[in-house]
Structure 1
Amino acid sequence: MSRMTIAVPASTANIGPGFDSAGMAVNRYLTLHVEESTQWEIEHRSVHLPSVPPVTDHLVYQAALHTANAYNKTLTPCKITMESEIPLARGLGSSASAIIAGIEVANQLCSLSLTKADKLKLATEMEGHPDNVAAALYGGFIVSVLLPNGEIEILQKTDVPLDLVVYIPTFELKTEDARKVLPEQFSRNEAAAASAVSNVMIAALSAGDFTLAGKMMEADLFHEPYRATLIPNYEQIRQEAKLAGAYGTVISGAGPTMISFAPKGEGHKIESKLKTTFPSYEVQLLSMDDVGIHVSYISEKEKTSK
């Protein structure tokens, strides 16, 4: 088997009112180097990755096994060396990236020739909703829906001329904890009002009216008012980013990372100002990844020549 490298982007989801449906791939990556072996072995090489659990408990292996089982295939053993730029439990889609990577491992090892739609279905079965996994798989800005009959529909947009600035705190926030603060249900009037905000935001992003899109991002009624209490400096970050020129600032995924959407070319100014204002945060300028998962190979001949 040739040595294989799989790179999967991080992702931000929800983007304000696009709850469990809107996602965007960003240019931080989970990278797997995969090579033939006599037994399964997974090695972590990143400060963003925890101690390696038993292989059978590893999310990448579980996603690979889920995929192989779905097609009645047997996984051949391999060694996986993982590097990551994606912090865990920070709202940047670390689990989604791992799931997409694991599905691709099985796709390659078992010669499944899966389509992206096939991979998205498998990933959504594991993740529960398609927003992060769709963005990590396809790249770009993705709006997705899991229909009651199990079908998944997506709309992808790659021409989104925005700078992205993230504010990553030192603490983690598990998605299940962030979901516990949300209401179990909304009244019809509440749901209609929240959906209207989301509709206008998506329409504004599609039309390139980023000022209106930013306003709607910050008007979410589905989750941000409830999760804001879990995130220190929530209002201060939004206010300072707005003063520095951001269109809008929202919780990334379930948090605690926050992300600003800014005019192209203006992100450096926002990054610089907020680094000074919030020195305990990792403040970084990012961009949208419009490719999604990428697979490359090194043949045995190439490995020997190196």
Structure 2
Amino acid sequence: MTPFTVRAPASSANLGPGFDSLGLSVPLFTTLRVTKQDVTEVVPLGAELEGTPADESNYVYRAMLLAARRVGRELPPARVEIETEVPLARGLGSSAAALVAGIVAGNELLGRPLDDEAVLDVAAREEGHPDNVAPALFGGIVVATLDRLGTHYVRLEPPAHLGVTVLIPDFELSTSKARAVLPKEYSRADAVHALSHAALLAAALSQERLDLLRHAMQDYIHQIWRAPLVPGLSDILEEAHRHGALGAALSGAGPTVLCFHDAREDTGRLHAYLRGVMRKNGLTGRVEDFPIDTGGTVVSRVQDAASPSSPGASRAPERR
């Protein structure tokens, strides 16, 4: 089998009211380089993955095994090199990118017995919700649900000129800690608020109604409960629109905060505001602008140099 590379993007989930059901893809990537061989090797590379397991207990390799388990086959041995640009435990879907990349790599080693919908279902059931894994797999903006019948999704092309600004603090926040602060029950009023705003947000994104994002992204389901864990979050949710943001939300479980912006406009004022919030709260971190990634997970192969249709060692990217 020709060696191949799998590249899966980061993701930002929830976007306010779309709890466990709405997310988008961000162009920071987890990359696997896979070479079939006689024995299995797992090789984490780079400072971000320092200390992660260099054996078959690695999360990426366990994700590869999920594909084999789904089809009832043994996974062929391979060398798997892992690198990531996605900061860990920051609310940018690092585990989802690793999970999706691993499942896709395992599926590739097995000869692609799983289609994209099956890959998504395996990932969503392992993660417990589809809001990060769906955009990591398909790119763009994805609305998805998980139930006993399967994983169901609609992928949206990002509105023209919609960009994201992320404030990534230097401290980590585990998803388990962020989920532990959520109440076990909600009032009918909070449920209606969540349903109506999630529906408005999905409609606004699909219709490119950027003027509605600030209103649609209001949330009472998780952000108000997680705000004490992320200093400055409440201020950003209330005030970012006054500094150039189209809307703001906690990214996933946090502590990263995402702001939408109009990519045709300068974001200097928004950056200055976000850095000011960090200083006010004694935090360090970085503020960056990104387009919304639309490629999702991509598999690339090094083509046979002897092939007349592929001179040299050119890469042939394959969209999932």
* TM-score tier after normalising by the smaller chain length: over 0.9
- 1:105 matched to 2:105? The reply is yes
> Which one scores higher on RCO, CA 8 angstroms, separation ≥ 6?
1
Extract unaligned runs of 5+ from structure 2: 307-311, 314-320
Query: C-alpha displacement at 1:157, in angstroms?
Result: 0.7
**Higher deviation after alignment, 207-216 or 27-36:** 207-216
- 1:68 matched to 2:72? The reply is no
Q: 2:297 aligns with which of 267, 289, 293?
A: 293
**Higher deviation after alignment, 35-44 or 80-89:** 35-44
Secondary structure, in 3 states, of the residue corresponding to 2:67? helix
Aligned residues: 303
Amino acid at match of 2:255: P
* Residues 21 and 145 in structure 1, CA contact (< 8 A), matched pair in contact too: yes
How far does the alpha carbon of each residue in 1:176-224 deviate from its partner, in whole angstroms, 9 at most, with x for none? 110011010113332122211222222222221112122221x201100
The residue number in structure 2 matching 1:233 is 232
Secondary structure, in 3 states, of the residue corresponding to 1:131? coil
- How large is the RMSD of aligned CA atoms in angstroms? 2.0
Decide whether aligned partners of structure 1 residues 230 and 136 sit closer, same or farther in structure 2, where only a CA change above 3 A counts. Answer: same
* Residues 244 and 270 in structure 2, CA contact (< 8 A), matched pair in contact too: no
- 1:203 matched to 2:203? The reply is yes
TM-score (norm 2): 0.89
Distance in 1 (CA, whole Å) between partners of 2:90 and 2:291 is 18
Secondary structure, in 3 states, of the residue corresponding to 1:124? helix
The residue number in structure 1 matching 2:286 is 282
Query: C-alpha displacement at 1:27, in angstroms?
Result: 0.8
The residue number in structure 2 matching 1:256 is 255
The residue number in structure 1 matching 2:309 is none
Extract unaligned runs of 5+ from structure 1: none
Query: C-alpha displacement at 1:300, in angstroms?
Result: 5.3
Decide whether aligned partners of structure 1 residues 239 and 269 sit closer, same or farther in structure 2, where only a CA change above 3 A counts. Answer: farther
Q: Work out the percentage of aligned pairs sharing the same amino acid.
A: 37
The residue number in structure 2 matching 1:246 is 245
**Higher deviation after alignment, 49-58 or 16-25:** 49-58
Distance in 1 (CA, whole Å) between partners of 2:80 and 2:272 is 40
Query: C-alpha displacement at 1:240, in angstroms?
Result: 5.7
Distance in 2 (CA, whole Å) between partners of 1:247 and 1:57 is 42
How far does the alpha carbon of each residue in 1:254-299 deviate from its partner, in whole angstroms, 9 at most, with x for none? 0000010011223642564246524622111111111110010114
Distance in 2 (CA, whole Å) between partners of 1:44 and 1:62 is 14
The residue number in structure 2 matching 1:115 is 115
Query: C-alpha displacement at 1:53, in angstroms?
Result: 1.0
